[in-house]
Structure 1
Amino acid sequence: MLFDRILSRLIQRGTLTVRYPDGRILEYRGAAEGPSAGLEVRTKRAAWRLSTNPTLAFGEEYMDGNIAPMGCSLYDVAELMVLNLADGGGHPGEALMEKVRWLRRRFDQLNPASRSRRNVAHHYDLNGRLYALFLDRDRQYSCAYFPTGNETLEEAQLLKKRHIASKLNFDRPELEVLDIGCGWGGMALHLAREHGARVTGITLSTEQLEVARSRAAEAGLSDRVKFELMDYRDWKRPVDRVVSVGMFEHVGIDHYKTFFRTVKGALKEDGVALIHAIGRSDGPGSTNAWISKYIFPGGYSPALSEVLPAVEKSGLWATDIEVLRLHYAHTIAHWRRRFAANRDAIQSLYDERFCRMFEFYLVGSELTFRHWGHMNWQIQLTRKVDTLPLSRDYMLEAERRVAEQPREDA
Structure 2
Amino acid sequence: MWLLDKFLKKAIKHGQFVVTNHDGKEYTYGSEPGSYPEEIGGKPGPIRIKLTHPKAANHIARYPQLGAGEAYMWEWLVVEAPHDIRDMILFVTMNAKRLGEASLKPQTPLRKLGQKMIAAVDGINLRGSAAKNAEHTYNLTRELYERFLDEDRQYTMAYYREDPRNTSLEQAQMDKKAHLAAKTCLKPGMKVLDIGCGWGGFALYLHKMYGVEVTGVALAKDQIAFCKERAKAEGVSDKVQFHLMDYRDVGGEFDRISSVGLLEHVGTIHYPQFFEHTHRLLKPGGVMISHCCGRAGKPGFTDAWTRKYIFPGGYIPALSELVSESEKAGW
Both proteins in one fold, TM over 0.5: yes
In structure 1, the partner of 2:72 is: 62
Q: Quick one: structure 1 residues 69 and 154, their matched pair in 2 at CA, closer, same or farther if it must change by over 3 Å?
A: same
Matching residue within 60, 63, 69 for 1:53 = 63
Instruction: Give how far 1:103 is off.
Output: 2.3
Residue aligning to 1:262:
277
Matched, 1:296 2:306: no
Shift of residue 312, structure 1, vs aligned partner: 0.7
Gaps of 5+ in 1: 317-410
Structure 2 SS opposite 1:114 = helix
Query: 1:282: Cα distance to partner?
Result: 2.5
Q: Deviations over 1:61-110 (max 9, x none)?
A: 11101002222121111111122223326358455433211123322111
Change (3 A) 1:245 1:168: same
Count of equivalent residues: 315
Give the 3 Å change call, closer, same or farther, for CA 173–30 of structure 1 in structure 2: farther
| Rounded Cα–Cα distance in structure 1 between residues aligned with 2:55 and 2:107 | 19
Determine which of 160, 179, 194 is the counterpart of 1:163.
179
- What does the per-residue CA deviation read over 1:8-33, in whole Å, with 9 as the maximum and x for residues that have no partner? 11012333232222323333225798
State the SS of the aligned residue for 1:269.
strand
Determine if contact 2:16/2:32 at 8 Å carries over to the other structure.
Answer: no
Aligned residue in 2 for 1:402: none
Match of 1:199 among 211, 214, 231: 214
Q: Which residue does 1:3 correspond to in 2? A: 4
**2:172 partner letter:** A
Name the aligned partner's letter for residue 166 of structure 1.
A
Residue identity opposite 1:77 in structure 2: M
Q: Is residue 2:178 matched to residue 1:177?
A: no
Equivalent-residue separation in structure 1 for 2:321 and 2:96 (angstroms): 25
Range with bigger deviation, 226-235 or 282-291: 282-291
Once residues 287 and 206 of structure 2 are traced to their aligned partners in structure 1, the CA distance between those partners, rounded to angstroms, is: 14
| TM-score, normalised relative to structure 2 | 0.90
The question of 1:232 aligning with 2:275 is answered no
Q: Distance in 1 between matches of 2:77 and 2:217?
A: 41
Which residue of the other structure, out of 53, 60, 63, is the alignment partner of 1:43? 53
**C-alpha distance in structure 1 between counterparts of 2:289 and 2:184, whole Å:** 6
Instruction: Measure how far apart 1:5 and its partner are.
Output: 2.1
- 1:163 and 1:68 mapped to 2: Cα distance? 43
Write the distance in 1 (CA, Å) between the matches of 2:137 and 2:146: 14
Aligned mates of 1:256, 1:201 — CA distance in 2: 20
Distance in 1, matches of 2:175 and 2:85, equals 30
| Matches of 2:242 and 2:89, distance apart in 1 | 39
Residues 283-326 of structure 1, C-alpha deviation per residue, up to 9 Å, x if partnerless? Answer: 1111111211122111111111111110110111xxxxxxxxxx
Which of 242, 251, 258 matches 2:266?
A: 251
**2:151 aligned partner:** 137
Read off the aligned partner of 2:168 and give its amino acid letter.
Answer: T
| Structure 1 residues 193-226: Cα deviation after superposition (integer angstroms, max 9, x where no partner) | 1111110000111110000000011112112100
The answer on whether the counterparts of 1:236 and 1:265 sit within 8 Å (CA) in structure 2 is no
Higher relative contact order (CA 8 A, sep 6+): 1
Partner SS for 2:292 = strand
Q: TM-score when scaled to structure 1?
A: 0.73
1:12 aligned onto 2:13: yes
Look up the equivalent residue of 2:96 and give its one-letter code.
Answer: L
Taking the aligned partners of 2:311 and 2:243, their CA distance within structure 1 comes to: 22
- In structure 1, distance between residues paired with 2:320 and 2:264: 15
Cα gap change, 1:98/1:84 in structure 2, threshold over 3 Å: closer, same or farther?
Answer: farther
Q: Indicate if the aligned counterparts of 1:6 and 1:90 stay in contact, CA closer than 8 A.
A: no
Report the AA paired with residue 103 of structure 2.
Answer: G
4+ residue segments displaced more than 6 Å: none
Q: Residue 26 of structure 1 corresponds to which residue in structure 2?
A: 27
2:94 is aligned with 1:83: yes
Q: Is the 8 A contact 2:217 2:247 kept in 1?
A: yes
One-letter code of the match for 2:292?
A
Query: What is the RMSD of the two structures over their aligned residues, measured on CA atoms?
Result: 1.9
SS across alignment from 1:90? helix
